[in-house]
Amino acid sequence: MPNYYSNWKTDTFNCLHCNWSGPGAECVQGEDFNDLVEMDCPKCRENIFNLIYPTEKEIEQNWEKVSEADKKLFLIRKQQNKDFSDGCLRSPKQLPDLMGDDLVLTWDIEDRNNGGNTLIKWGERVIWRETAWYECYERFIEVAHILKEKYQDQLQDLVPTRKSIYWLLGDRLTASSKVESCRSTLGLYDENEVQDQQFVKIENVDEELPISDDAERN
């Protein structure tokens, strides 16, 4: 399989089905997957080769070959990565104490179409905000686990707002059931039942964590 930044456009490929032969640039784009795209024969449309999308490292190593549009996208994603790791929720210590039992928190998003920040709210009060990811259902489960660690038996549910659904679930068919199954454990009182669930435990908690603005005020 040719590397994304190799000379695949000028290299010659042969179709085993119809004997077509020609440069990679003449092949047509077939099915597009997360990490690769199929390149098909221009004559009979059978798959000839696959092009694996470049990793972050490969993009940086081949910077002069990257298109302006891809450069822009890459830099936005890189900044998003940094914003996220600089300010994401890692520990229950970052969250404010809340009063009362049966806390129902909401998972909301600033911008339905473009993302922005994920907002964790208690009523109208924002208790946490961090950079949002598209298809962030795995992050939902991580955050839910930290919320459970903080609020324990006080926590009843973490409800995604309708506005957040597009960014939370994306195109993943299984995402919805993963979110639902996580939510179904949040209200449980029995410690053991909660711990049996496959929560992702975040290790190596940094001592200098960002604290919720809300927590600082309290």
Binding site for Zn ion (CB under 5 A): 15, 17-18, 20, 41, 43-44
Residue 1 or 28: the one with the smaller Cβ distance to Zn ion is: 28
What's the min distance (Å) between Cβ of 46 and Zn ion? 5
Residue 98 φ/ψ, nearest 5 degrees? -125, 150
What's the min distance (Å) between Cβ of 43 and Zn ion? 5
Residue 26 or 157: the one with the smaller Cβ distance to Zn ion is: 26
**Residue 37 CA to chain centroid, in angstroms?**
20
What's the min distance (Å) between Cβ of 139 and Zn ion? 43
Query: Are the C-beta atoms of 59 and 53 separated by less than 8 Å?
Result: no
Query: Are the C-beta atoms of 4 and 65 separated by less than 8 Å?
Result: no
Residue 17 or 78: the one with the smaller Cβ distance to Zn ion is: 17
What's the min distance (Å) between Cβ of 35 and Zn ion? 25
What's the min distance (Å) between Cβ of 51 and Zn ion? 17
Residue 14 or 61: the one with the smaller Cβ distance to Zn ion is: 14
Residue 65 to residue 169: CA distance in whole angstroms: 33
**Residue 150 CA to chain centroid, in angstroms?**
23
Residue 7 to residue 23: CA distance in whole angstroms: 10
What's the min distance (Å) between Cβ of 45 and Zn ion? 7
Residue 40 or 108: the one with the smaller Cβ distance to Zn ion is: 40
C-alpha distances (whole Å) from 155 to each of 76, 109, 144 are 35, 20, 10
Q: Which two tokens stand for residue 139?
A: 């992050």
Burial 83-117 (b: 16+ CB within 10 A, else e): ebeebbbbeeebbbebeeeebebbbbbeeeeebeb
Residue 15 or 194: the one with the smaller Cβ distance to Zn ion is: 15
Torsion sign over Cα 174, 176, 182, 185: negative
